[in-house]
Structures are given as structure tokens and as C-alpha cells.
Amino acid sequence: MNKKNSMITMVILFLFIAGVLFVGLSGKGGGVFRKKAQESAGQAAPSEHQGHGGSPVLPQTVPPPGGIESGAASQEEPQTVEIPEAGQRFIGVKTTVAAVKALTRTIRTVGRVEYDEKRIATVNTKIEGWIETIRVNYTGRYVKRGEVLAEIYSPELVASQQEYLNILKWSRQGAAPAGAEESSAMNRMLAQDAEAMRQAARQRLRFLDISEAQIRKIEETGSPLRTLAVFSPVSGYVVQKLAVQGMKVQPGERLFDLVDTSTLWVVSDIYEHELALVKTGQKAEITLDSLPGKVFVASIDYVSPLLAGETRTAKIRFTLDNQAGDLKPQMFAKVALKVDLSRRLVVPEDALINTGTRQLVYVDKGDGYFEPREVGVGVKAEGMAEILSGLQAGEKVASAATFLIDSEARLKGVVKQ
């Protein structure tokens, strides 16, 4: 009986709770279902404002605060990516202020020591003959200016000397003093002609490379020289010897090549994209592995107007003093050319993000916000990059962990390719 009464009591209690819930959920206070009904009524409300003929009356558009212009400006505000300060410290973000600085670029290249072409001389002969004596008989020998290199026998040269001696004898006879009564206009004319012929014959010997000292010797002895001495025109080294004992030589045939190494050239290659920075007169420091600790300072004295198509480089040239003889042709040299680029607006190169089509920097706007901004980039030097447009002096840009900021910006859709 007790069990039966308790079950009846539980059933009555359950029915009471269910009734209370039904009244509470469906009352004026608004329950779930009531809210849904109100939402349905709200959705149907626009139909009550339909005009005659069933056409809906559109609600008026309320302009944003500040008018239409401020609304358009707010839409044009640049997007930013937020990186909290704790996140910045974790990924190692650093910022640098864009500033105007004096920029110097160092162009490093290699060079090669070569002969000074202005100090190269070739020795040849202007007559036909045979080499009877070789005084300089090996390549690499040092000779002084005026030193005899070889002696050549030439029948043509002997004939020219004999002709000069005959004219000289005639000239002297015609110029002998005579009494006033014996003097005549004819004698004066003959004397003048003889002197003119003597001067012409003498000049011909000079054209055949017979020196003044040799001509005086011919005049003093009254007999021609059998051989012609070939003298060195410069002081330097024999770099090529073609003359051989007993060989026959023709007019214009090259016998020796000599070079004066008191000054030498250093010729270097400059790449095409660096040519705009190179001008004559710029100084460079030149070092050689064979002379450790020694630095040659020289100025560019020539920039080639031609570009090598294979290497896309142009030649530049320096002239070095070599009185001590330390430099040797064909040595390799290292060239450091410092170019003053004047004062320019720069940021660190690490601040740049190259997307392939443009260059970006991330400007620090404060409170952890970074704005991606496209910039124009000029020359790069000493780890800095010139900014031509898109940034002003004094603005802060991210200079470390920039690629992480860029990755976050791309994930959030702030930056698109």
C-alpha cells in the first residue's frame, strides 16, 4: 500500500512540474518558442510596408557617421597585421628607423698585371742586309737605352755612305777660299749646290738610322762603316727576340721586342650592372698575394667603351709605379673600388621582402600592428638598401623576422601576391 501511494505521489509531482514548465515557456515573458515566433513576425514585418500593387518599400540607407566621404576613407585605410609584443619577442622581431645616411659601396673584383703598352718598343731595320753580330742573344735580358743589340752588314748602306763621302769631298773643294779676282758667280753657285747635296746625303744616312756620332766618324775617317749598329730605343727587358746570327733581314722586319717595366698596368673586369658607378679618377686599393701587407693606391685612368658579350663585363685600367720591380706581368691582383653614393634614404636589406613582382617593407604602426607597404628600391651597399619611394625618413620598419611577419600577413589575407 505504501509503495502504491508513493508511486501515485511521484506521478502527481511529475505532472505538476510539467505544467509549470509549459506555462513558463509559453507565457508573456517570452520563452524559446515565443522568441522564435517573434523572429518569424520580424521576418514577415516588411510585408506590412508593401505599397499598393505588392511592390516592397525599401528601407532608407543611413549614411555612416561623418558623412559619405569619411565612410570611403575608412574603407581605404591600409590593412595591418597584429603581432602582440610577447609574440614579437618570441620570434625575434626588431625594428629600424628609416634614415638619410651617407652611403659608400665597395666594388670588389680581380685584376691582372700587364705591360704598359705605351712603354713597349719594337726594333726593326730599314735596310736589306745580314746580321753579322748579335749582342743580345736571349729573351728576358735587361738592356739600357742606346745599347747595341746587333750589327748588320748592308751593301746598300755602304753605297750610301760612299756617296756621302764623295759629295762631302766635292763640297769642301768648292768651298775652298779663292782670290777676289778669281771669284765668280759660277763658283758660288757650284758651292751652294754642293752644300745642298751634302745636306741631302747626310739626311739620307739619318733616315737609315745612322746616328750623328757614326756620321761624324765617317767624316773624320773618310771611309764608310761596314756594319750598321742597331741600338735599343728604350731601357727595359727583351720580351721577344727574332734576330738570329747570320740571318738575312728585309726592310721593316722585326728583330726585337722590348718593354720598360718601370710602370705597369692592372686591368680589371667590371660587371655590366656596376658600370654606372665607375668613372675615371676614382681611387682603388690593389693588393697581391705575392706581396702580403703591401697596398697600392691608384686611380682609374681608363674605362673601356666596349662590353664583352660572353662575360657581360667591361675593362678598367690602373697604372702602378714599379720602380722597385716588385710587380711582374701576369700577376693576379685584388681590387677594392670604393664608390661614394652621397646621402640617401636607406633601410637594412633584411627589411625588404621580395615577392617577385614588388618589394615590401612592414612599417611599425605601434601597439603591435605592422602595415605592409610597397617601396621602390635603388642601389644596395654595406647591407643597406636605398628607398626611392613609399617610405619617409623617421618611419620604423621591421628589420628582423620580417619573413615571419610576412607569412602571418599572407595567412590572414592582408597581403596578396
Give residue-wise pLDDT tens across range 332-369: 999 999 988 889 999 999 999 998 889 999 999 999 99
In sequence order, what DSSP letters do the residues of 2-62 get, joined into one string?
HHHHHHHHHHHHHHHHHHHHHHHHTSTT--HHHHHHHHHHHHHGGGGG--TTS---PPPPP
**pLDDT class of 260 with cuts at 50, 70, 90:** very high
Find the mean pLDDT for residues 17-23.
45
Give all strands of the β-sheet with 248-249 in edge-to-edge order: 227-231, 148-153, 129-134, 248-249
The CA distance from 81 to 93, in Å, is: 14
Which CATH architecture is the domain 123-258 placed in? Beta Barrel (2.40)
Q: What percent of the chain has pLDDT over 70?
A: 78
Give residue-wise pLDDT tens across range 226-239: 888 899 999 999 99
- pLDDT given at position 5: 58
CATH 2.40.30.170 fits 109-116+261-339, yes or no: yes
Topology annotation, domain 81-103+342-411: 2.40.420
List beta partners, residue 259: 120, 237
**pLDDT class of 77 with cuts at 50, 70, 90:** low
pLDDT at 42 over 50: no
Find the mean pLDDT for residues 397-406.
92
